[in-house]
Amino acid sequence: MDFLAELETLLRQIPPGHFARVADVARALGDVRASAAIARVLRDHPELPNARRVVAGSGLAARGPFFNAFRGGPLLAELRAEQIELATKVSRRNGFRSVRTVGGVDVSYEGDRGFATLVVLRASDLTVVEEVRVTQPVSFPYIPTYLAYREWPLIEAAAARLRERPTVLLVDGHGQLHPARCGIACLVGIRLGVPTIGVAKHPLVGSIRGSLEPGGGAPVVVDGEVLGYAMRTSQSTKPLFVSTGHRVATRTAVRIVRALCRTRQPEPLRIAHVLATEMKRRQRKKVQEGLKLAPFPRSERPKAKGRGA
């Protein structure tokens, strides 16, 4: 899906001499929570039609009437409906008898480009047996609760390059601990047909029942149902939020994540994050060096000197 194309369709509807509030554009897309993301997109893409006539807040700086009678399909509302439908397909039954390998996938960003790393570790000793790196442009911005639609194309591309898929895949993001009970780990698990676990750093929904001691966990309850666990996997006071993605029982997910933690983060996700960040850093350095070391015109290139120079 092309978020920019959907946004452009709405922006072209703003009549001459009119302005639009960013919140009204977000509502037209189907979710007012996308307001901040839309503001970032307009800031980064001023070439979009009428981008400079979309204002935040009360729009006191705008001179002219406001337009909000947008027409078109509410993209985010349609995606939310898809999440709700996918949630009915999530299984909390273990889709394996034993765990031979565990995977972890993480995505980093530099502007409109994503860098994904998927690593597979041997469960017995946490040795890396395979790693895949993918980079490609990203057209969907970060919008809370819609992370799956930003990262899925990169994760799909990385998974397609694996020689063998892991027994269980850990995803940096939520599983069922999500307003639609279908976070990125659920979508990835269903679409890949692989058991998945969501491991997130910040909560989206639910309340923690009980206290959290180092190395301990407490259930996270949503509408009276335990959908995941908050875990302190080290001396860090910041918990992780673990939940079923697909084909993994919630308590099994907690046991697997705890067994994989040498630090706060489970090893597959820690390694994947380090590699994805390094790939992004190298790409940034390559671009910077390319700008600094632009080739001389042929007539101005210096003559080569001897090897001992």
Domain spans of the chain, in order of start: 3-73, 87-271
Strand (E) or helix (H) holding 10: helix 3-11
pLDDT in tens, 71-116: 987 999 999 999 999 999 999 999 999 999 999 999 999 989 999 9
pLDDT in tens, 185-195: 999 999 999 99
Q: Judge whether residue 203 has pLDDT over 60.
A: yes
Q: Judge whether residue 309 has pLDDT over 90.
A: no
At residue 62, the pLDDT reads 65
At residue 307, the pLDDT reads 33
Q: What is the token pair recorded at 187?
A: 């979508």
3-state DSSP call for residue 58? coil
Q: What is the largest CA-CA distance in the chain?
A: 77
At residue 308, the pLDDT reads 38
* Position 265, amino acid: Q
pLDDT in tens, 5-22: 999 999 999 999 999 999
Does domain 87-271 correspond to CATH entry 3.30.2170.10?
yes
Would you mind telling me the total number of residues written for the chain in this entry? 309
Instruction: Tell me the pLDDT band of 68, cut-offs 50, 70 and 90.
Output: very high
Q: Judge whether residue 134 has pLDDT over 90.
A: yes
Residue 182: alpha-carbon gap to chain centroid: 13
Query: b/e per residue, 241-256, with b = 16+ CB within 10 A?
Result: bbbbbbbbebebbbeb
Same fold yes or no, 3-73 and 87-271: no
Residues facing residue 34 across a β-bridge: none
At residue 304, the pLDDT reads 40
At residue 150, the pLDDT reads 97
Contacts (Cβ under 8 Å, ≥6 apart) of 166: 101, 102, 103, 120, 121, 194
- Give the HSE-up count for residue 238: Cα atoms under 13 Å, Cβ half-sphere: 7
At residue 305, the pLDDT reads 39
Q: How far apart are CA 37 and CA 283, in angstroms?
A: 24
Q: Judge whether residue 300 has pLDDT over 80.
A: no
Provide the H-helix boundaries in 19-175: 22-29, 35-44, 75-87, 147-160
Mean pLDDT across the stretch 183-204?
97
At residue 292, the pLDDT reads 61
Q: Say which CATH architecture domain 3-73 belongs to.
A: Orthogonal Bundle (1.10)
Q: Judge whether residue 123 has pLDDT over 60.
A: yes
pLDDT in tens, 224-256: 999 999 999 877 778 999 999 999 999 999 999
- Per the prediction, the chain carries an average pLDDT of 91
